[in-house]
Amino acid sequence: MTAYQSLEKQFKKLFNYEHLAAICGWDQAAMMPDGGNEARAHAMSELAVLCHETLTAPEMGQWIEEAEATVASLSEEQKVSLKEMKRVWQQATVLPSYLVEAKSIAGSKCEHEWRTQRKENEWDKFAVNLKDVVKLAREEAAIRAEQTGLSKYNAMLDLYEPGMTTEKLDVIFGELKSWLPELTRQIIEKQSNVTVEEPAGPFPTEQQAELGKKLMGILGFDFNHGRLDVSIHPFCGGVPQDVRITTRYNEEDFTQAIMGVVHETGHARYEQGLPASLQGFPAGQARSMGIHESQSLFFEMQLARSPEFVEHIASFAKDTFDRQSDQDFDISNINALYKRVQPGYIRVDADEVTYPAHVILRYEIERDLIEGNIEVDDIPGIWDQKMQEYLGISTEGNFINGCMQDIHWTDPECKMSTAENHNYKDGCMQDIHWCDGSFGYFPSYTLGAMYAAQFMAAMRKTIDVDICLKQLEIAPISAWLEENIWSKGSTLTTDELVIQATGEPLNPEYFKQHLINRYLNN
Amino acid sequence: MTAYQSLEKQFKKLFNYEHLAAICGWDQAAMMPDGGNEARAHAMSELAVLCHETLTAPEMGQWIEEAEATVASLSEEQKVSLKEMKRVWQQATVLPSYLVEAKSIAGSKCEHEWRTQRKENEWDKFAVNLKDVVKLAREEAAIRAEQTGLSKYNAMLDLYEPGMTTEKLDVIFGELKSWLPELTRQIIEKQSNVTVEEPAGPFPTEQQAELGKKLMGILGFDFNHGRLDVSIHPFCGGVPQDVRITTRYNEEDFTQAIMGVVHETGHARYEQGLPASLQGFPAGQARSMGIHESQSLFFEMQLARSPEFVEHIASFAKDTFDRQSDQDFDISNINALYKRVQPGYIRVDADEVTYPAHVILRYEIERDLIEGNIEVDDIPGIWDQKMQEYLGISTEGNFINGCMQDIHWTDPECKMSTAENHNYKDGCMQDIHWCDGSFGYFPSYTLGAMYAAQFMAAMRKTIDVDICLKQLEIAPISAWLEENIWSKGSTLTTDELVIQATGEPLNPEYFKQHLINRYLNN
């Protein structure tokens, strides 16, 4: 067996172990009764150790070295595959095991206690845990920086969005910041005389699921290789041959679950469309978090929230919930509902116009935190200042016990200016990402939104997307994505992928034009 | 770390891996879309190798030796635990790896092709594969016999029912054979003037599931540590902290699924009641297949099919399916339905009176097959002769293409006496067990039925079971089972367990009395 074949065998083994982790992880979120959690946590942790041991097995370094020495004997695909194998192996081996363990313990503690601390708005207690996590993340970043020659934060960013740097992001996000606040203001002004009615429930879960599956089918989800279920936090899991997506249902509002299903369907189709010839190898996996998000946002923002597709959603929903004569189901109302722009505290509830502000704010804080320019104690102050700057709202002094849950920034009665009443809960304590040290992840969301807009612009050069959506003829759209994105796996860098697909590197102008077209020019 | 502690650590690791196998196995049967099967099969097979490697790790022999040398330092529980560790380790290590692999390949091939061959009634083709399986099983049995000092078939029996031997079984089953045919005849005669009506469907799946869950709850299933789902072949899987039971629904007949759920609930409560202090170790696991079956049959035959409990089932079913005025739901009819005795070809469809005949027939054949007294080619002839002898029906010469599926032995039109029309499909080709070499398993079913009757007789000495069932007060019954069976795990031999619980070793007289009381004395 050649060294390269040994590597392939080892990565196939890892792929099999990760298959088990993916299915048991899905089960934990979607099926497992509460009482099963302790035993499951032990089993999953044992498997995580095994996956790490498999990827960092003592022979791996030598195999990689030998394979590199005889690289001339490999096919082009194998060369790329080897490069990606080496990249994930290096990322996995560089951390000393004491640090991996310390990170895992600090992360679990921080995340576990955050679940209560957030509810109780206890920033001070949370900050104690977060400081431990940040200390270890800085240590990790320093080690990764030394290995890669990147800056500390860039080395973390590289885990989620290989090739992306603060130098590029500062420019890209800088551009967004230059026009987004004003654009947001204009959109809100334009929408101020639009009345939107929320259709009144109940909308039974079974019917919502039926509608969700109908849309999944239309959008090309392969039910022979995947399923839709329910979990508290929607996600896309499983393996490419068996993709598990989840959603959550609110019987008073079907619009969220339905669009959530569409979003996860985008993730799922990427997974289902990854190259079979590289199955099990790093080069056969999704390129990056940003590209993954570009696919979910392509399906949600570019396809499903287009007026052409919303018309179908409204019509299907009318049938599904038997509301033929309910005016709230009129296309114009459903369309207005799905286009509503409103600054708010919570990132996950944000519309596509205000979402980037949430991401840029987090990016700037975590970048400075990892580089050592600010400390955990500085976060709340910076958060509030940037919320004010980018979205015109503040989480400072607006917390009143009890009404916090439903507070709206325009409601003056809920504003108080004492430090004790600072709304950390819906401010810098709202996300799980920092708890377990996932610094460098946040930019992916907005990168995804921008990639999606750019892909759509490129696609429109050869495909009449509006006609496709009007006629629910998704095949040409799928074929373009499959050819340009899905089938590439990780065989290209993100830059190469975007340039090959669209003719140029990431250009935020497409995103801007998309927002202007959808929210102002109509 | 002491040698014993090393063993505990290794078995905990194995337990974690087996947890993943149990959940992914359940998922495969209950959740997975078809297209996921290939990748899943690879992942499961990788995990099976890992489990085997973990149990047979090179250090294990030395750890066991060292732990035995310092056994005085162990607690009583640890001593027992060590004994069971050694037993499963010996069973796992004794086979050379070429044989394990050959068995796996031959078994997979035989089982895979059996799925079509059975449908097509192709005994000749099936026999070719079965001969390979039997050859390897005999080799396995010889190796296990040498290790254990048992006879060849006894060494196989020991895998499923430790301590059980043909010497004991020949006596026990001999007794059954001495009275069961005549008893069956009497029961059938008695029932010949009873009219039974099958309630007419449809009975929607959701309502059947609701009724099943209601009964599970009444029977003490802990939904915080388990769930009920659907699969083609009902089973009890998962782990003690998260037991997954399944059933299948027929919308024309609710009675089968409901009783199937009760049966699996018995298996589940055994698992949920295993000793927590020994969790993860062999001594903390279920004692044997026979004892496991005794718990499912206790719940099904001793509890749920009692007239006291059937009365509740009839009443709940009336409510669930809204059939208040349907006479087919009358207690007397539902009771007669659940007590109907009818010899038939198919073991899994048999009632509790005729079931032992199916088992004894298989036991006698597999015993002689493994000991080398008969050959695969002899099976159909012996099968027919014993079916005639024990049940008064024959699979010989009753096969007519097309009507085979629904054939009934009393229907003379379907009888033909040519060899080509031999009904192998519903005869010696009906079970999956021999395909993969599970020789020694069949006796467990009838041992379970006899243990269950004996446990019930013992329980009745201190508990008024009829009152409990009338009042649906299951707690005292559960407490008895938990104290005497579940909490013992594998810390006692089967004989010790039965003697401690009932005051004597297995005695088929209790089963006989149970059948007489239920089917003749009323």
Q: What is the CATH number of the domain that holds B314?
A: 1.10.1370.30
Confidence grade of residue B417 (pLDDT, cut at 50, 70, 90): very low
CA A66 to chain centre: 37
Domain extent for B261: 194-346+452-519
A318 and A200 in a common domain: yes
Do A322 and A208 lie in one domain? The reply is yes
**Residues B198 and B307 both lie in one domain:** yes
B212 residue type, one letter: G
Chain B residues in contact with A43 (beta carbon < 8 A): 16-17, 19-20
Instruction: Indicate whether A456 pLDDT > 50.
Output: yes
Contact B126, B118 (CB under 8 A): yes
pLDDT at B346: 94
B155 inside domain: no
How sure is the predictor about A403, in pLDDT bands with cuts at 50, 70 and 90? very low
Query: Residues A4-30: what's their mean pLDDT?
Result: 97
Q: Give the residue numbers in B contacting A (CB under 8 Å), as ranges.
A: 12-13, 16-17, 19-20, 23-24, 27, 31-36, 38-40, 42-43, 46-47, 50, 222-227, 238-242
Q: Which of A8, A18, A140, A264 is catalytic?
A: A264
Task: Kindly state whether residues A340 and A209 are assigned to the same domain.
Answer: yes
Locate tokens 């090739």: which residue? A163
Asked if residue A203 and residue A74 are part of one domain, the reply reads no
Q: What is the pLDDT of residues A108-149, one digit of tens each?
A: 899 989 989 999 999 999 999 999 999 999 999 999 999 999
Q: How far is A396 from chain B (nearest CA, A)?
A: 41
Per-residue pLDDT averaged across B335-364, rounded? 96
Is B253 within 8 Å of B303 (Cβ atoms)? no
Q: What is the pLDDT of residue A225?
A: 98
Burial (CB count <10 Å: 0-12, 13-18, 19+), residue A340: middle
Q: Do B241 and A39 touch (CB under 8 A)?
A: yes
Structure-model confidence comparison of residues A233 and A497, the more confident one: A497
pTM above threshold 0.90: yes
pLDDT at B487 over 80: yes
Q: Please check whether residue B312 lies inside any domain of the structure.
A: yes
- What was the pLDDT predicted at A134? 98
Q: Which residues of A375-413 are buried (b: 16+ CB within 10 A; e: fewer)?
A: ebeebbebbbebbeebbebbbbebbeeeebeebebeeee
pLDDT at B412: 42
Asked whether residue A229 is domain-assigned, the answer is yes
Could you tell me the pLDDT band of residue A418, with boundaries at 50, 70 and 90?
A: very low
pLDDT class for A393, splitting at 50, 70, 90? confident
Quick check: is A368 in a domain? no
Judgement on whether residues A60 and A201 belong to the same structural domain of the protein: no
Provide DSSP, A226-268: EEEEE-SS--EEEETTEEEEEE--BTTBHHHHHHHHHHHHHHH
Residue B404 within any structural domain of the chain = no
Q: Mean of the pLDDT values across residues B460-469? A: 98
A267 is in an annotated binding site: yes
DSSP character string of A60-95: HHHHHHHHHHTGGGS-HHHHHHHHHHHHHHHHHHSS
Chain A residues within an 8 Å CB radius of B227: 31, 33
Name the residue facing A39 among B19, B34, B39 (closest C-beta): B19
Per 3-state DSSP, what percentage of chain A is helix, strand, and coil (rounded to 5)? 65, 5, 30
Tell me if residue A264 is catalytic: yes
Q: Quick check: is B299 in a domain?
A: yes
Note the pLDDT of residue B76: 95
- The pLDDT tens digits of the residues spanning A63-77 come to 999 999 999 999 999
In whole angstroms, how far apart are CA B38 and each of A242, A440, B30, B43, B63? 10, 35, 16, 9, 38
Contact criterion met (CB < 8 Å) for B13 and A46: yes
pLDDT category, B519, cuts 50, 70, 90? very high
**Bond preceding residue B202 cis, omega within 30 of 0:** yes
Domain end marker among B93, B110, B142? B93
- Domain tally, chain A: 2
pLDDT higher than threshold 50 for residue B197: yes
What pLDDT, on the 0 to 100 scale, is given for residue A416? 41
In a domain, residue A98? The reply is no
Residue A334 sits in the same domain as residue A207: yes
Q: Which of A93, A118, A147 is the last residue of a domain?
A: A93
pLDDT higher than 60, residue B419: no
Domain end (from A68, A93, A118): A93
Cα gap B119→A168, rounded to integer Å: 65
Res A509 pLDDT > 70:
yes
Catalytic machinery residues of B = 264
Q: How far apart are CA A214 and CA A374, in angstroms?
A: 49
Is A110 a member of any domain?
no
Q: What is the pLDDT of residue A397?
A: 56
User: What confidence tier does A514 reach under pLDDT thresholds 50, 70, 90?
Assistant: very high
Query: Which strands form B226-230's sheet, in the order they lie side by side?
Result: B226-230, B242-247, B236-239
Give dist(CA A246, CA B349) in Å, integer: 38
> What ipTM does the predicted assembly reach?
0.91
- Asked if A485 and A337 sit in the same domain, the reply is yes
Q: What is the model's pLDDT at position A253? A: 96
Whole-number pLDDT of residue B408? 40
Where is B454: in which H helix or E strand? helix B443-459
Lowest mean pLDDT among A85-99, A249-263, A397-411, B171-185: A397-411
Do A336 and A209 fall within a single domain?
yes
pLDDT band at A410 (very low <50, low <70, confident <90, very high): very low
Residue A520 Cα distances to A184, A356, B20, B304, B470, angstroms: 10, 18, 52, 68, 72
